Amino acid sequence: MNKLNYEPNDSDIDDYSSDETILMEEEGGNGNNMTFIKAAVYTLKKCGKYMTCIEIWKYIERNDLVFTTGKTPKNSLSQVLHSHVKKKKYVHKKGKRFGINIWK
């Protein structure tokens, strides 16, 4: 399977409890309300390369993928990414950068 054609399954990602994925239920910006993990996987897929949490957040913010009123969205994203790395779900780390599991 081509790593650039990887599409996360909405039902697989959205079936976590809200405290694990920090679900963003309000609509914002262009009406996008992705969870942090779904937006991160989407970002990694679209960019096609390993990225740091800050790089992922900049892409998410620039493309209005997640609506949040939190004061530290980068920290929230980092927490979600590390939680999924620990569970071996959707993402893994290579040094300080994250990638989607299909790239392993």
Q: What is the model's pLDDT at position 104? A: 81
61 occurs within a structural domain: yes
Q: Is 14 within the bounds of a domain?
A: no
pTM of the model: 0.70
pLDDT of amino acid 103: 87
Q: CA–CA distance from 73 to each of 35, 48, 78, 99 (Å)? A: 12, 23, 8, 19
- Please give the residue that has the higher pLDDT: either 36 or 28: 36
Flag whether 79 is in a domain. Answer: yes
Number of domains in the chain: 1
Q: What is the mean pLDDT of residues 30-38?
A: 77
Query: In degrees, to the nearest 5, what angle opens at C-alpha 65 toward C-alphas 15 and 46?
Result: 90
Q: Is 94 contained in some domain?
A: yes
pLDDT for 4: 45
Q: Specify the CATH number for the domain of residue 91.
A: 1.10.10
Domain assignment present for residue 89? The answer is yes
What pLDDT does residue 12 have?
Answer: 46
Range of the domain at 89: 3-8+21-103
